[in-house]
Amino acid sequence: MTFVLFLASLLLAGAAGYALLARLGLDDFDAWAAGRTLGLVAVAYPAWWAGVLGLPGWRLVGIVLLLVLGLAGAVELWRRRAGWRAVVSAEAILAVGALAILIGRLDHPQIVGQEKPMDIGILATLLRSDGFPPADMWLAGERLPYYYWGALLWTTPLTVGGLRLEIAYNLIVALVAGAIAVSLWALGRRLGGSHWAGLTAAFFGVLAGTPDGWRQLLGGVGIRHLDIWRSSRQLEDAITEFPLFTEWLGDLHPHYLSMPIAVAALLVAWHLGRRQPTLAGTAVVTLLFGVAWAANPWCMPPTLAGVALLVLCADGRWHWPVGEGRWRWLAVATIAAGGWLAVAPFHLEFHPPFEGLRTVFAWTSPANLLLYGGCLLVPAFAAVAVMMRDRLAPGGGRGAALLLVAAALLVVASAVSGRPSAVLLTGALVVAVWAVLAPGEQPERAGLALAALGLFLFLVPELVYVVDSYGERLHRMNTVFKAWIQAWVLLAAALPVLLRIAFASRTVRRAVTAALVVAALPHPLWMAVSQVSDRRLGLDGMAWMTEGDRAVVRFLRGQPRDATVIEAVGGAYTEYARLSANSGVPALIGWENHELVWRGHGVTEETSRRAALVRELYSCGDPARVREIAVGEGIPLVAIGALERADFSEETLAAVRAAGEIALDEAGGQVVRIGSTAPVATEVDDG
């Protein structure tokens, strides 16, 4: 029943968003494709403001809005029931994308390792939050200094459904993939002019692997032993994730949760740019852009640029800020400023430790560039070559010769600079921008604009990087990751247009598309065959835990909203902090590394102090000292589970039990309640 309620709430959100977009003039295909994402935003946004303003029951606000807007949307669906085939088609695309990823994760649903404990921790703490920002699940007494908006969209359906979070987490991973797929399908259909174009964009944006899969196969690795992790680390000391890897990993990280919001914003922006922008359409794009920005600040520049490009050229012409073009530029400015204002409380509270931009001192070889994005970049380079030939010698016979001269210049520039990938991308980008800004009317202009933006994002980490706390050796790690994965989605949306420009013959175009699909197949095929094994299949994200730890998590989830807990501390990306992450009950200290990344070096003294107290509590062997620490820090609950038993002796753990009353004792999992304490409150220097 909980599963049915969860899905029903998502259908209501879809109906709500569909009605809003249909009123803006989107057809049934596009309105349903982006409707669920917009519906979730429309429900979460007023509820979030209620929480920001300190009004009680912000979740109730979300539930009421879901019911009211969803039922209104259902009425609109019935009124427009003649278009039911379009709605069913869009829902089928979403379902296929979601099911493909859901099936691909059945053999490894565990929410452990990498960033997944943090991801479920944010969801869990939002479900317990009494306001915003929510509590920091890994630094009791503090608010979460991280982007939570992508997870916030799912809190109302989770509250309505009551689905266990360890199951819901894996469903959300799949549903996000489905939402990206259906929005890319709609956008690709609009840019490319056919349903096949939409399917091409959806496949390459969500389900395609990288050519590195073939490199491994041709190197003698069997399909069952393909190393997708190696493909996601194509560059030394950098992350080269692609959408399929993120989906396989089950990483509900902000970069992934923001994707359907950003693509929905692009789709609505395309409609906005087809005619003179309207106030209502501008408002919807502004809201989607603002929420995407709050969900993942890394996606702000590309999403704003993509939205702006579509508003300025989706009708096939480039509009400068003169004449009627002024209204389009005004709409872009409104979206940019309004996007910040829409979620201003988030920006005023959130202070990322941004340390500026610097020039890179490492770069990407052409081979590694193509082993990552070859399925998208090869068509882009082919389209650029055709456009350059046609523009250098339109209708003449000198095009091929001039193209050879340009290629020779690129080779010379690559040799002189020692950075061939940067030269190649720069050349392609210049030609693409030239085509986008060219006078006259061309139906491919919007697709070319998104392709140019994608090429630019591939170029960025060849020139500059965002300074962070990971040091010189990993200086490009996050910049490559966040730029390339967004470039991937943009080029996937533009791929049908690039293929049409590069290959005029439909037969050749179909053959090339088929070859690209084959090049992208090893990773999804590996995911499929991996399900045929002796591994246990399922969706339980806590299946890796001992029964005792699971019992502790269930107990903690039932505690009052101001509850806090002490659990064993250990390194980031490990099993430590598992109880606070899966329950949402803040721990005295969780992953110290993440607090450092979130808050800066000013927090180190406090996190080190707390970690030392936790170790002392479990190892001192003195019930009086255990009580002193717990009461002094204002933490009423102390957990004893698998990691605590592994790290500390039974003698010292007996002292912990003796320090208070046993509130839970089940399957080896224990929770000790110590005295009467007030919630911890300390001043933390965020650097």
The full DSSP string for 97-140 is HHHHHHHHTTT-----STTHHHHHHHHHHHHH-SSSSPB-TTST
pLDDT of residue 13: 97
Give this prediction's pTM.
0.95
* b/e code 132-141 from CB counts within 10 Å (16+ = b): bbbbbbbbbb
Q: Which of 64, 55, 81, 85 is nearest to 12 (CA)?
A: 64
Residue indicated by tokens 């960025």? 460
Residue indicated by tokens 């087809």? 274
Q: What CA–CA distance (Å, rounded) separates 571 from 214?
A: 35
Whether the CB-CB separation of 69 and 10 falls below 8 Å is answered with no
- E strand or H helix at 670: strand 669-673
pLDDT of residue 237: 86
Burial (CB count within 10 angstroms: exposed 0-12, middle 13-18, buried 19+), residue 289: buried
DSSP assignment letter at 678? P
pLDDT of residue 684: 55
pLDDT of residue 259: 98
Q: What CA–CA distance (Å, rounded) separates 93 from 111?
A: 27
Q: Which of 250, 290, 461, 269 is nearest to 361 (CA)?
A: 461
Whether the CB-CB separation of 519 and 87 falls below 8 Å is answered with no
| Ranges of the chain whose pLDDT falls below 50 | 677-683, 687
* Residue 617 structure tokens: 């509590």
Q: What CA–CA distance (Å, rounded) separates 232 from 480?
A: 11
Q: What CA–CA distance (Å, rounded) separates 511 from 488?
A: 22
Whether the CB-CB separation of 44 and 10 falls below 8 Å is answered with no
* Residue 130 structure tokens: 């009494």
pLDDT of residue 527: 94
Q: Which of 594, 538, 559 is nearest to 121 (CA)?
A: 594
DSSP assignment letter at 666? E
Q: What CA–CA distance (Å, rounded) separates 487 from 384?
A: 17
pLDDT of residue 597: 87
pLDDT of residue 399: 60
The Cβ of residue 667 has, within 10 Å, a number of other Cβ atoms equal to: 13
pLDDT of residue 678: 45
**All residues at 6 or more sequence positions from 342 whose CB lies less than 8 Å from its CB, including other chains:** 45, 286, 287, 290, 291
pLDDT of residue 159: 95
Angle between helices 623-633 and 604-619 (to 10 degrees): 150
pLDDT of residue 353: 67
Q: What CA–CA distance (Å, rounded) separates 620 from 596?
A: 27
**All residues at 6 or more sequence positions from 554 whose CB lies less than 8 Å from its CB, including other chains:** none
pLDDT of residue 56: 80
pLDDT of residue 397: 59
- E strand or H helix at 279: helix 279-295
